[in-house]
Amino acid sequence: MEATAAAGPNIAFVKYWGNRDDHLRLPANGSISLTLDPLETRVHVRFDAALPTDQVLVQGAEAPPATAARLTAHLDLVRELAGLHMPARVETQSNFPQGAGLASSAAVFAALTTAAAAAAGLHLDPRALSRLARRGSGSACRSVFGGYVEWYAGEDDATSFAEPLASAEHWQLSDLIAIVEAEHKAVGSSTGHALAPTSPLQAARVADAPRRLRECRSAILERDFERLAWIAELDSHMMHAVMLTSTPPLLYWTPATIAVIRTVHQARQNGIAVFCTIDAGPNVHCLCPAESADTVEHMLGQTPGVQRILRCQPGGPARLL
């Protein structure tokens, strides 16, 4: 009754921000992302009747209580589906900074869902896995799949799931993540989602989402970089506008975040194809065609405040090891 799975994080071009139902993680709007490689989280799950209680280890150490509670609540969903009444030991190991707005929860919950379902003897199809991963962390439903992925907002638990839009091989984009701060962020996304409806801008952002999703879908299918750049930057800025105008306001950016945005815009003015998008943290994802990655990496490396650059490419689906 044990299994190990691996999953990569993802970067959203049309972002998930705010829920219609926080408990079920039914999002206010659909979203589109790219699953990343070589960043990954590996999760080992062992159900064992001899354990006194659930045990959760993160990076080899006992997990903080809030993290352990979130992971075991997810195990409860798996146990319920499998009719299992046994404690489990969970070990997660990631090869990238956690909680710094790098969608770490997406990789953790996509891998945890895949491993726990297999360890519990459940045979779930990819859609069912995606729905279940969504309950742990919304963005995790997208990391169940590789490449370019769309999460349909849906109406209820049964209709809110992700599906592949195009394979990882469809379009060789590079994501250069400019790390300006690797520490754990102050306000996690779950808290942020709950604040979204307090912004007067959220309703407009959600109402316009079908248009952004349409633009983003076509840009990806047609490999139209300029169109993707335009819509993804707009979407990221709209989400951060909502964050800034929530009560209380959320400001994830630091001066170095803005310096990176300026570098990207300057590069674009100089004819280099690149755009940026930022999740719930200060680090900046800079996307470009794979052939310009060296040039962009060099420019980012010269930007004040950039501590490190993580170079990613389109990655595959969550998988059992």
Q: Shortest distance, CB of residue 104 to ligand DP6, whole angstroms?
A: 8
Angle between helix axes 255-269 and 293-301 (nearest 10 degrees) is 140
Name residue, tokens 């707005």: 101
What tokens appear for 13 in the block?
A: 């071009």
Asked if 280 interacts with ligand DP6 (CB under 6 A), we say: yes
Q: Is 12 in the site for ligand DP6 (CB under 6 A)?
A: yes
Is residue 4 a contact point for ligand DP6 (CB under 6 A)?
A: no
> Binding ligand DP6 by CB under 6 A: which of 8, 18, 97, 138?
138
Residue 316's closest CA among 169, 211, 154, 120? 169
Best CA proximity match to 74, nearest among 52, 62, 56? 56
**Contacts (Cβ under 8 Å, ≥6 apart) of 229:** 268, 273, 274, 275, 287
If one asks whether residue 16 binds ligand DP6 (CB under 6 A), the answer comes out as yes
User: Which C-beta is closer to ligand DP6: that of 131 or that of 193?
Assistant: 193
The b-or-e profile of 155-178 (16+ CB within 10 A means b, else e) is eeeeebbbebbbebeebebbbbbb
Site string for ligand DP6, 201-240 (x = CB under 6 A): ----------------------------------------
Measure the CA angle with vertex 113, ends 1 and 194; round to 5°. 145
Binders of ligand DP6 in range 151-190 (CB under 6 A): 189-190
Determine, following the binding rule CB under 6 A, whether residue 103 of this chain makes contact with ligand DP6: yes
Strands 31-37 and 10-14: antiparallel
Please identify, using beta-carbon distances, which residue of 238 and 288 lies nearer to ligand DP6.
238
How many other CB atoms are found less than 10 A from the CB of residue 230? 15
96 binds ligand DP6 (CB under 6 A): no
**Which of 3, 250 has the CB closer to ligand DP6?**
250
Closest to ligand DP6 by CB, 87 vs 188, is 188
- Smallest distance from ligand DP6 to CB 127, Å: 18
Beta bridge partners of 157: none
- Which residue from 31, 174, 263, 283 is in contact with ligand DP6, where contact means CB under 6 A? 31
Nearer to ligand DP6, 87 or 99 (CB): 99
Length of the chain: 321
- Residues near ligand DP6 (CB under 6 A) are 12, 15-17, 25, 31, 103, 105-106, 137-139, 189-190, 193, 279-280
